[in-house]
């Protein structure tokens, strides 16, 4: 089983060589860890689906290193997309564009569009650059489970099914990228690390939509971002003391009395800090054999929109 390897230059070069040879490598990004394969190699991409045990071929995000790699993956890029790239790349914004012919249909689930982002994590950038390849990478978790924010999460979830796990430290954002499309109109497809108002400041109002393979497919949204322990989103004072002793508490600012285990996302109530701690805290609570995890309702503003979205999905899968 390949234990996570520290991201030395030698490991980065080995990761790049494995990817060029059709391998599957878990890489750190600033949002969550990704399970990467060459986006131009359909057999390698098929292995990604196999390793994740995804029951359906949802389209994957293609990771590039800056705009230089774009011609290999996308065509007919609109002006608004360039404005977004200038403002948010490298970083956690994924833009849906018209796909170039070299991108296999398996990456895009047969659609004519491709989701692209240029990650900010220096190790992800180095691996993409060294391999000289765009990388298709979903989050590096088994299908339906929590996204990994540390190399150990990948190791525990996928173990020896991957060729290499590159450890780049804990993820800075801890929540996935924001996804937008511009065609036929600017639309927010997935709330994520970049709050929608920051995007609207660059390109104007965003309509609200959904991504294929999640909300668009009836029922499947429920299986995303879920720990094995049932999750309930609650108000801090709404849970009777008697039902707390075998449950865990995940509060925004404050611990709650009477729970078997209690954890706080951000003592100062900072939503960015809360997002970064979310999946990690849920992983930790999930390991404690609790009957249930009560999570305090998060204010739905800024990055809180993405946190609330992930918690809704975790709760839906618990019913």
Q: Which residues bind ligand TXA (CB under 6 A)?
A: 29, 31-32, 34, 58-61, 92, 94, 96, 108, 111, 113-115, 137-139, 176-177, 179, 189-190, 211-214
User: What's phi and psi for 160, nearest 5 deg?
Assistant: -85, 10
Cβ proximity to ligand TXA, 58 vs 286, nearer residue: 58
Taking alpha carbons only, the member of 173, 168, 171, 145 closest to residue 274 is: 173
- Residue whose entry in the numeric block shows the structure tokens 């109530």: 269
**# of chain residues touching Mg ion (CB under 5 A):** 1
Minimum CB–partner distance for residue 174 and ligand TXA (Å) = 10
Q: Are 221 and 319 in contact (CB under 8 A)?
A: no
Q: Which stretch binds Mg ion (CB under 5 A): 8-16, 87-95, 97-105, 137-145?
A: 137-145
Minimum distance between the CB of residue 101 and Mg ion, rounded to whole angstroms? Answer: 27
Asked if 263 and 278 count as a contact pair (C-beta separation under 8 A), the reply is: no
Neighbours of 270 (CB within 10 A): 14
**49 versus 259: smaller Cβ distance to ligand TXA:** 49
The option from ligand TXA, Mg ion, none interacting with 23 (CB < 5 to 8 A, set by class) reads: none
Sole window of 88-96, 118-126, 136-144, 282-290 interacting with Mg ion (rule: CB under 5 A): 136-144
Q: Which is nearer to Mg ion, 139 or 177 (CB)?
A: 139
Output 102-106 pairs: Cβ under 8 A, ≥24 positions apart. 102/40, 102/72, 102/73, 103/39, 103/40, 103/62, 103/72, 103/73, 104/39, 104/40, 104/41, 104/42, 104/45, 105/42, 106/42, 106/45, 106/46, 106/49, 106/57
**Torsion angles phi and psi, residue 307, rounded to 5:** -60, -45
Partner touching 61 among ligand TXA, Mg ion, none, CB below 5 to 8 Å by kind:
ligand TXA
Q: How far is the CB of 162 from ligand TXA (least distance, A)?
A: 14
Secondary structure of residue 92 in the 3-state scheme? coil
User: In the complex, what is the shortest distance from the CB of residue 214 to ligand TXA, in angstroms, rounded to a whole number?
Assistant: 5
For residue 73, the minimal CB distance to Mg ion (Å) is 20
Distances (CA, A) of 254 to 63, 151, 287: 37, 28, 21
**Would you state the structure tokens that stand for residue 128, as one six-digit string?**
């993409």
- Nearer Cβ to ligand TXA (58/296): 58
d(CA 225, CA 183): 27
Q: How far is the CB of 311 from Mg ion (least distance, A)?
A: 15
Query: Is it true that the peptide bond before 83 is cis, omega within 30 degrees of 0?
Result: no
Chain positions 262 to 281 lying near Mg ion, rule: CB under 5 A, are none
139 or 181: CB nearest Mg ion:
139
Query: Nearest distance from residue 68's CB to Mg ion, in Å?
Result: 27
Pairing of strands 93-99, 164-167: unpaired
Q: Which does 134 bind (CB under 5 to 8 A by kind): ligand TXA, Mg ion, none?
A: none
| Residue closer to ligand TXA (CB basis): 49 or 249 | 49
Of 61 and 81, CB closest to ligand TXA? 61
Q: Could you tell me the smallest distance in angstroms from the CB atom of residue 61 to ligand TXA?
A: 5
Residue from 11, 139, 177, 181 in contact with Mg ion (CB under 5 A): 139
Which residue lies nearer to Mg ion by CB, 146 or 239? 146
Beta-bridge mates of residue 187: 181, 207
Q: Please report, as ranges, the residues that interact with Mg ion according to CB under 5 A.
A: 139
């Amino acid at each position: 089983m390949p234990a996570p390897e520290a991201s030395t230059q030698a490991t980065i070069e080995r990761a790049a060589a494995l990817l060029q040879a059709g391998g599957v490598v878990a890489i750190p990004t600033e949002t969550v860890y990704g399970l990467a394969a060459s986006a131009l190699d359909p057999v390698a991409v098929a292995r990604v689906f196999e390793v994740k045990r995804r029951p359906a071929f949802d389209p994957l995000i293609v990771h590039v290193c800056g705009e230089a790699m774009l011609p290999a993956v996308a065509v007919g890029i609109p002006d608004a997309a360039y404005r977004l790239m200038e403002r948010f790349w490298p970083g956690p914004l994924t833009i849906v564009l018209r796909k170039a012919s070299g991108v296999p249909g398996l990456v895009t689930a047969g659609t004519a569009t491709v989701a692209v982002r240029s990650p900010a994590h220096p190790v992800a950038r180095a691996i993409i650059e060294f391999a000289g390849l765009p990388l298709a990478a979903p989050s590096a978790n088994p299908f339906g489970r929590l996204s990994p924010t540390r190399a150990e999460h990948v190791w525990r979830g996928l173990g020896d099914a991957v060729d290499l796990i590159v450890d780049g430290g804990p993820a800075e954002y801890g929540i996935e990228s924001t996804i937008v499309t511009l065609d036929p109109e600017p639309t927010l497809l997935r709330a994520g690390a970049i709050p929608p108002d920051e995007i609207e400041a660059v390109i104007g109002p965003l309509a609200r939509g959904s991504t294929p393979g999640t909300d668009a497919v009836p029922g499947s949204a429920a299986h995303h971002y879920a720990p094995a322990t049932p999750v309930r989103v609650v108000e801090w004072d709404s849970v009777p003391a008697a039902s707390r002793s075998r449950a865990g508490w995940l509060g925004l600012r404050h611990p709650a009395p009477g729970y078997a285990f209690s954890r706080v996302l951000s003592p100062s109530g900072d939503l960015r800090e809360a997002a970064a701690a979310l999946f990690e805290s849920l992983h930790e609570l999930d390991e404690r054999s609790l009957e249930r995890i009560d999570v305090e309702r998060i204010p739905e503003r800024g990055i809180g929109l993405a946190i609330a979205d992930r918690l809704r999905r975790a709760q839906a899968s618990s019913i």
